Structures are given as C-alpha cells and as structure tokens.
Amino acid sequence: AMIGKGEYRHFMLKEIYEQPQVIGDTLNALFNPAERTITLPALPFALETVERVTIVACGTSYYAGLVARYWLESVARVPVDIDVASEFRYRAPPLQKGGLALFISQSGETADTLAALRHCKAQGLWCVAVVNVPESTMAREAHAVLPTLAGPEIGVASTKAFTTQLVVMAALCLALARARHAIDRATEARLSRGLAEVPARAAEVLKYDDALHALAQEVAEARDVLYLGRGTSHAVALEGALKLKEISYIHAEGYPAGEMKHGPIALIDETVPVIVIAPHDGLFDKTAGNVQEVIARGGRIILLSDAEGIAHVGAGVAHAVTLPVVDPFVAPILYAIPVQLLAYHVAVIKGTDVDQPRNLAKSVTVE
C-alpha cells in the first residue's frame, strides 16, 4: 500500500511522531511487563557463552551501536568491539570463532554492512542482524534476526529506526546481563522498569516540540554547531550532529564533552551554538564543568537536561529544555527525540528538502 504523510508536512516529522507507538511495538515483542523479563527470538547459540561482542553498522545505525557498547560493557559486563562497516572489514581484526557479531541496519541492505556480515560468517562467528526490513538480505543471511518494528521508514534521515534499534539493543543487553550473571535482581528490575516506561516518556518528550522549534531559528543562523555529551549521551551528540548535517547542511560536530579541550574549544565563540546532551546522571557534574568552560569563552549553550540537571548546571546557559526525569539507562532513547526535532525545524527554516536531502540515499547498496 502507498504510505502517505497524513497530517504531517514531511515523512520525517511523521516518523518522529510515530516513535511512542513503534518503540512500544518493538518493546512488546521482547518484553513481558508482568514478569519484567526479556524473551528474545530463538538464537542458535547460548547467550551465556558470549564472551565478546563485535558490532558493525553505518550511519545512524552505527550510533545505535555506540550507545549499545556503553550498555553491554557497563550492564552486561561483556567486552565490545565496534566499528563502521567500511573500516571494519579492511582492518582485518582478529576474530574469535564462535564469537557474536551484531549487524545493525534499518534497510538490511547497506553494502558495507552486508559485506562485513559475510566476512564474519565466513570466519565462523555467530551473526545476528538487527534490521527493520524482515525480508532484507541481511535478515536472510544472518544466523538470527532481532527485528525492529519501526514500520517503513521513508525519510532519508533515520529517526524511528534509530530509537527502535536502541530498544532492541537494550533488551539484548538485559538478556545478556542475566545470562552472564552480571546483574543483580534489583538492578535488573530497575532497568526493566525504566525500559517499560520509554513509550510513555517518548510521548511526553514530543510535547517539547514547540520549545525546540523556538530554538531552531538561532541554530539555523549558525555556520557551525557543536554537540557535546558523555557516555551514552556522547553517542546521542554524534547522532544529533549527523541529523543536522544531513538535512540542514549546517556543519555540525558531535564530541565527547571531556575531549572538547583537545580541539573544538578553539572554535568556541558567540556564533557557535553548543548543544549539550546531559541528563542528570553520574557524569552530569563533569559535563556541567565543560558547560562552564564554553560559557567562559562566550559560547552559547543550549542544554537538553531534566529539572535536576538544569538546577545544578550553574549560571550562564543561554537556553535549557527541561525533559522528563528518566532512568539514565534509557535516557539516550529519549534524548534522541529532541535532537531529531531540532534538526527537523532547522531544515524547514532553511528550506531544504527534508525527506530527500541532496547527495544522500536512504539505502547505500554500493561500496
């Protein structure tokens, strides 16, 4: 059937607004809310045997993998190796037969990721595809599939595929943590509760659309924009910068907040908006220090945080968006939404072709 934009001006906006629903659909397929347990589709290997995870992807899907690295290492206590597909293959990394490799892809057709999958399969790794298109080549060739239930994504800039990839990776992380006895019951219950709340919180986050729209004009006037964050928020910063580049053509960089002093701080002046992704988590105070370093150099901070964070950040922040308080585990899923909305509104102000940005393709099936 033909997919329409409905009441929305662009597919991208429609897909952003579908997120509470499709995040819920993806979660419901993996999560039993009564028992708060994860049930993954059948896998041809035992999760407790996994000793290391290799993640390969491109573009936005790669940033979903970056978030998952933080989760898998800190929660499931499993070492993770991650790379973009075009580098992974040619690095010729030593691979352990029987190891687990995850290929994250909306389309399931990206040439570099598919080649990496074939390479890993030939090396005797278990290959699991996290894909949104169930009849895709990656889904067919992998040993197992963890589907994202985002539904067809038309906008070239990925939105709902990203947040549903995160949901699948969070569920996998909890299942792996349990299988490896890396997590106690109380922690598992807390993280599961946080995950179960994501669809409702995502709906709340969409209510900040007007607030983000109001900030878009200032960002649209910039030549360069810097996105900062630590931990999983670093991956969200990278994704925020990618969204802005893709659809508004404004130069943007995502950086780990603590690394700013080794380069990007030289760019800071009043013309460079600095968008800081900082839920009030264990790294907040460190990021707040970086915020003050930017302010001291005349930089204009746009802070995405919660009430606690905004109360503790100190003076001088130009704009703050107060997002709901959520468990830090699931914060990257929710903080992805405001960076999508901000990029969207900036692109609309600039008058670019939001759904079909120049030079980009939805699915890159050549190397």
Cβ of residue 131: shortest distance to ligand G6P, in angstroms? 8
Residue with Cβ nearer ligand G6P (232 or 340): 340
SS3 of 26-94: HHHCCEECCCCEECCCCCCCCHHHCCCEEEEECHHHHHHHHHHHHHHHHCCCCCEEEEEHHHHHHHCCC
Q: How many residues in the shown chain lie near ligand G6P by CB under 6 A?
A: 16
52 contacts ligand G6P (rule: CB under 6 A) = no
Q: Segment near ligand G6P (CB under 6 A), from 52-60, 169-177, 199-207, 284-292?
A: 52-60
Residue with Cβ nearer ligand G6P (61 or 287): 61
Residue 300 pairs in a beta bridge with 273
Residue with Cβ nearer ligand G6P (163 or 192): 163
The residue with its CB nearest to ligand G6P is: 59
Among 19, 26, 106, 148, binds ligand G6P (CB under 6 A): 106
Residue with Cβ nearer ligand G6P (49 or 365): 365
Cβ of residue 226: shortest distance to ligand G6P, in angstroms? 21
Cβ of residue 176: shortest distance to ligand G6P, in angstroms? 22
Buried-exposed string 335-366: b where 16+ CB fall within 10 A, e elsewhere: bbbbbbbbbbbbbbebebebbbbeeeeeebee
Q: Segment near ligand G6P (CB under 6 A), from 16-24, 39-47, 57-65, 249-257?
A: 57-65
Residue 330 and residue 170 in contact, taking contact as beta carbons nearer than 8 Å:
yes
d(CA 37, CA 31) in angstroms, rounded, equals 6
Count how many Cα atoms sit within 13 Å of the Cα of residue 360 in the half-sphere of its side chain: 22
26 contacts ligand G6P (rule: CB under 6 A) = no
Residue with Cβ nearer ligand G6P (16 or 183): 16
Phi, psi of 276 (to 5 degrees): -110, 125
58 contacts ligand G6P (rule: CB under 6 A) = yes
Residue with Cβ nearer ligand G6P (156 or 174): 156
End-to-end CA distance of the chain: 31
d(CA 147, CA 37) in angstroms, rounded, equals 18
- Fill in the DSSP letter of residue 8: -
Residue 235 and residue 332 in contact, taking contact as beta carbons nearer than 8 Å:
yes
Of 109-128, which residues contact ligand G6P (CB under 6 A)? 110, 113
Of 206, 84, 106, give the one whose Cα is nearest residue 161.
Answer: 106
Q: Answer yes or no: 121 catalytic.
A: no
Of 157, 91, 146, give the one whose Cα is nearest residue 120.
Answer: 91
Token pair of 321 as six digits: 């968006």
Among 19, 54, 105, 163, binds ligand G6P (CB under 6 A): 105
Of 156-175, which residues contact ligand G6P (CB under 6 A)? 156-158
Of 347-366, which residues contact ligand G6P (CB under 6 A)? 360, 362-364
Cβ of residue 132: shortest distance to ligand G6P, in angstroms? 8
User: Residues with Cβ < 8 Å from 325, sequence gap 6 or more?
Assistant: 280, 306, 307, 308
Cβ of residue 354: shortest distance to ligand G6P, in angstroms? 13
d(CA 332, CA 64) in angstroms, rounded, equals 9
Integer CA distances (angstroms), 247 to 33, 154, 195, in order: 37, 14, 30
Q: Segment near ligand G6P (CB under 6 A), from 55-63, 91-99, 327-335, 340-348?
A: 55-63
Cβ of residue 342: shortest distance to ligand G6P, in angstroms? 17
d(CA 164, CA 56) in angstroms, rounded, equals 17
Cβ of residue 105: shortest distance to ligand G6P, in angstroms? 3
Residue with Cβ nearer ligand G6P (19 or 105): 105
| Catalytically active residues, by annotation | 362
> Which residues of this protein are in contact with ligand G6P, per CB under 6 A?
58-61, 105-107, 110, 113, 156-158, 360, 362-364
